[in-house]
Structure 1
Amino acid sequence: MFHNLIYPCFGYILIYPCFGCRSYGSVYKALHKESGQVLAIKQVPIDTDLQEIIKEISIMQQCDSHHVVKYYGSYFKDSDLWIVMEYCGAGSVSDIMRLRKKTLTEEEIATVIYDTLRGLEYLHLRRKIHRDIKAGNILLNTQGHAKLADFGVAGQLSDTMAKRNTVIGTPFWMAPEVIQEIGYDCVADIWSLGITALEMAEGKPPYGDIHPMRAIFMIPTKPPPSFREPDQWQPEFIDFVSR
């Protein structure tokens, strides 16, 4: 059932919010009137950090992969920036877990991880770090294919500076070297992917019940996290996460 938010904008008809409020604004399902293509439009207030938005747009413009959300264009309207992107009708993996009120099965996790790894392979070969891999930033289309989204904190590795040294990301999914600011590279995304696998299996990341600032102190000093109840999972999955 459509909401009453239906009006034309730059050749698009906005239908209704599709992913709720994501980073830096709301995202709407939209219909491109000329082609009939269904798209997503992120509405971003201009008073947010435009530098981060420009960075996200720049990263998305440079990507052309089935495993990364596509960027189609952006427009200014009144006091908002409208970013037109590929529509992923099933929402994020965290949306799906919340709506179903249950975690994913091992087979479902393997499917999501496979597509996510393909997306990360694409980025890393181009010396890009996503820096915020988590279930909330992995979107699924209506065919069930997973795609990487939310590139606001993504970074570009230069040949002269092979490791970043800024603390960016979401604390529970951060790699120890990111928190410690000792320099990091694309491998930091792989740590976050392991944490995301635990999140999909158990419903929340390790240390998810404690304050984020406390987690920041614990992650670099504790052994790499694993499953709370390992008997529920195949040895191959446990081994995959450990790696």
Structure 2
Amino acid sequence: MLGDGIGRKVFKGLDLENGNSVAIKQVSLENIAEKDLDMVMCEIDGALVNLRYVENGSLANMIKPRNFGPLPEPLVASYVAQVLEGLVYLHEQGVVHRDIKGANILTTKEGLVKLADFGVAHKLTEGDITTHSVVGTPYWMAPEVIEMSGVCAASDIWSVGCTVIELLTGVPPYYKLQPMPALFKIVQDDNPPIPNDLSPGVTDFLSHCFRKDARLRPGAKTLLSHTWIQSFRRVFG
């Protein structure tokens, strides 16, 4: 049974057989172009099977001024560690999320986070390490995606760095610019601007995420062992 809307074409749902709360996304297949069917099926296969309703909403909603605002570093490290664990699994399966950002990270009452919205995710075929299409959200987008030189697992790592800044400051890098100028700056600059008031640990973590050459960016598993993540994982378990 459908309930209230909780997002764009996403509704609370009640399983009438067992009382479980779930999230239901409404996908219209009317007049859909054949080229878009693969994307729809990818989302169904990757995200909508047994999708649970995550009651606390997204991290993007959590950091809005009317709610809690920017989050402290220990909590952000705890959330990012869980995101990286999710990416380790996805990347090992050959899946690139392609739209990591606060709005696509949902949180439970217990402080667990889950990656959501796999609508633009891409599964790399055997022997294929990149895909040449511009998808994602501008302020979180890696330079190789913008230049169409090929999105890869490392493109998600760049977006993780942008998400860290988003959660710590309330806004992603280049947020004062319109999308097109922001995309130009992402490609032109050596790295996105890193706020001066961050700790040395998170600053070093971001410097790894923002290596311009995607081949030099560490993978999710490597970043899980970074001292900034490890120091706060001990606090939060």
TM-score range, shorter chain: 0.7 to 0.9
More helix by percentage: 2
- Structure 1 stretches (4+) deviating beyond 3 angstroms? 45-50
In structure 2, the residue corresponding to 1:41 is in which secondary structure?
A: strand
Query: Percentage identity across aligned positions?
Result: 38
Distance 1:89-1:123 versus aligned 2 partners, 3 A rule: same
Task: Find the counterpart in structure 1 of residue 189 from structure 2.
Answer: 222
TM-score of the aligned structures, taking structure 1 as reference length? 0.78
Task: Find the counterpart in structure 2 of residue 130 from structure 1.
Answer: 97
Task: Find the counterpart in structure 1 of residue 222 from structure 2.
Answer: none
Distance 1:134-1:156 versus aligned 2 partners, 3 A rule: same
The whole-number CA distance in structure 2 between the counterparts of 1:142 and 1:209 is: 32
Distance 1:225-1:48 versus aligned 2 partners, 3 A rule: farther
The whole-number CA distance in structure 2 between the counterparts of 1:110 and 1:226 is: 19
Alignment of 1:1-243 (within 5 A): 13-17=1-5, 19-21=6-8, 25=9, 27-47=10-30, 49=32, 51=37, 52-60=39-47, 71-72=49-50, 85-98=51-64, 99-228=66-195, 230-231=196-197, 233-243=198-208
The whole-number CA distance in structure 1 between the counterparts of 2:114 and 2:40 is: 19
| Larger CA deviation: 204-213 vs 156-165 | 156-165
1:47 Cα offset (Å):
4.1
The whole-number CA distance in structure 1 between the counterparts of 2:94 and 2:60 is: 27
In structure 1, the residue corresponding to 2:24 is in which secondary structure?
A: strand
Instruction: Give RMSD over aligned pairs.
Output: 1.6
The whole-number CA distance in structure 2 between the counterparts of 1:41 and 1:221 is: 40
Q: Which runs of 5+ in 1 are unaligned?
A: 1-12, 61-69, 73-84
Number of corresponding residues: 203
The whole-number CA distance in structure 2 between the counterparts of 1:169 and 1:162 is: 18
More strand by percentage: 1
- Higher relative contact order by CA 8 Å / sep ≥ 6: 1 or 2? 2
In structure 2, the residue corresponding to 1:39 is in which secondary structure?
A: strand
1:162 Cα offset (Å):
1.4
